[in-house]
Every structure is written in structure tokens, then in C-alpha cells.
Structure 1
Amino acid sequence: MAELLQVTAPLLIRYPDGSRHVMAERFAHPDGILYFQPFWHLCRPASQAIHLVRGELRGEGPWKLGDAVITVLGCQGTDPDMAAVHAEWQAFIRSGAPGYPGPDAIRALACQHGACQD
């Protein structure tokens, strides 16, 4: 799982029902992977955009996690809708990310969702 968590390229998760999300933040969880969608901090409650995907992580990219598949987001026309979401997220981050919590606060929130099992 460490390899997936160390990937710096944008990642996309696809579910069997066809839904998909860009993974803005991601953390190891005892039951799988916890991830935050872009702009999660603007959702009320934020937990609407924080997801736990349960299952054993398999593969070396693309990865299979439970019934979901995680791939590197193809930004050159392979998934233009999700590439646009990622581009908007990156522009927000480059602008200084006003109102976005710092790394310690994000990690604390992930821990509240069970991701920190030190």
C-alpha cells in the first residue's frame, strides 16, 4: 500500500456503478484507504467528500481496492471531466488555497476517521 500512498501523480478512483472521484488527499486505513475529494473542506459536512474504501489493495498500478479501481488520472483527453476537476483543484492550491486546512489539521481529520493507527 505504501507505493500507492507515495504516488505524486493525480489518482482517480472508479466504482462499479460508474462514479469516479479524484483523490486529493489519501491515507492508509486499517480497512483500506481513506481519501478526500478535491474541495472537501467546502462541503457541509466535510464528511460528504471523505471516503473510506474497504478492501485489500492489489496490483501495482492500476490498483484494485475492494470493487473499486484506482488509476493515474490521464489529463490529456482520456477523462476530460475528471482532468478538469483536477486542474481546478491544482489552480486553487497554487493560488495559496485560502481556507484550506494545513497538513496537521488534515492528518488530524484523517485520524478522526480511523486512518491513524500508530
Structure 2
Amino acid sequence: MAELLQVTAPLLIRHPDGTRHIMVERFAHPEGILYFEPFWHLHRPAARAIHLARGGIRGEGPWRLGEAVITVLGCQGSDPGMAALYAEWQAFLQSGAPGYPATAAIHALAREQGAICPD
């Protein structure tokens, strides 16, 4: 799992029901991976955009996590809609990310959800 969590490229997860999300924050979890969608902090409640993908990780990219498939965004078939969302996210971050929580607060929230992350 460590290799997947160390990837710095944007990752896209596709669930068996067809739901897709970009994983902008991701953390090891005893049951799989806890991840946050772009602009998760603007959702009310924020938990609507924080997800636990359950299962063991298989592969070296693309990866399988339970029944979900994780790919590098833009690989394995381009997805213009998700690429545009990621570009918007990057522009937000480059603008100084107004209102985005500090790393310590993000880690605290992830730990509240059972994630394993640094202090």
C-alpha cells in the first residue's frame, strides 16, 4: 500500500457502480484507504466528500482496491471532465487555497475517521 500512498501524480478511483472521484488527500486505513475529493472542505458536511474505499491493494498501477480501480488521472483512457476538475483544483491551490485547512487539521480529521497518518 505504501507505494500507492507515495504516488504524487493525481489519482482517480472508479468504483464498481461507476462512481469516480479524484483522490486529493489519501491515507492508509485499517480497512483500505481513506480519501478526500477536491473541494471536500466546501461540502456541508465535509464528510460527504470523504470516503473510505475498503479492501486490499493489488497491482502496481493501475491498482485494485477491493472492487475499485485506481489509475493515474489521464492514463488508461483520458477523462476530460475529471481532468478539468483537477485543473480547477490545482488553480485553487496555486491561488493560495483560501479557506483550505492546514495539514495538521486534515490529519486530525483523517485520524477521526480511523486513518493512519502522521502527527
TM-score range, shorter chain: over 0.9
RMSD: 1.5
| Alignment correspondent of 1:93 | 93
Structure 1 residues 65, 7: CA separation in 2 closer, same or farther (over 3 Å shift)? same
What's the TM-score, normalizing by structure 1? Answer: 0.95
Distance in 1, matches of 2:2 and 2:103, equals 19
Alignment: residue pair count? 117
Does 2:39 align with 1:29?
A: no
| Alignment correspondent of 1:42 | 42
Instruction: Give the C-alpha shift of residue 71 in structure 1.
Output: 0.2
Instruction: Give the C-alpha shift of residue 16 in structure 1.
Output: 1.2
| Alignment correspondent of 2:6 | 6
Structure 1 residues 117, 104: CA separation in 2 closer, same or farther (over 3 Å shift)? closer
Identity of aligned pairs, percent?
A: 74
CA contact (8 A) 1:12 1:20 kept: yes
CA contact (8 A) 2:28 2:117 kept: no
Instruction: Give the C-alpha shift of residue 117 in structure 1.
Output: 7.3
Deviation beyond 4 Å, 4+ runs, structure 1: none
Structure 1 residues 104, 117: CA separation in 2 closer, same or farther (over 3 Å shift)? closer
CA contact (8 A) 2:34 2:51 kept: yes
Instruction: Give the C-alpha shift of residue 17 in structure 1.
Output: 1.4
- Deviation digits for residues 71-110 of structure 1 (CA, Å, limit 9, x no counterpart): 00007x8100000010000000000000000110000000
Instruction: Give the C-alpha shift of residue 116 in structure 1.
Output: 2.5
| Alignment correspondent of 1:20 | 20
Distance in 2, matches of 1:79 and 1:38, equals 16
Distance in 1, matches of 2:117 and 2:72, equals 27
Q: Which amino acid aligns with 2:10?
A: P
CA contact (8 A) 1:30 1:117 kept: no
What's the TM-score, normalizing by structure 2? Answer: 0.94
Q: Which amino acid aligns with 2:78?
A: T
- Deviation digits for residues 28-60 of structure 1 (CA, Å, limit 9, x no counterpart): 000000000000000000000000011001000
Q: Which amino acid aligns with 2:54?
A: R
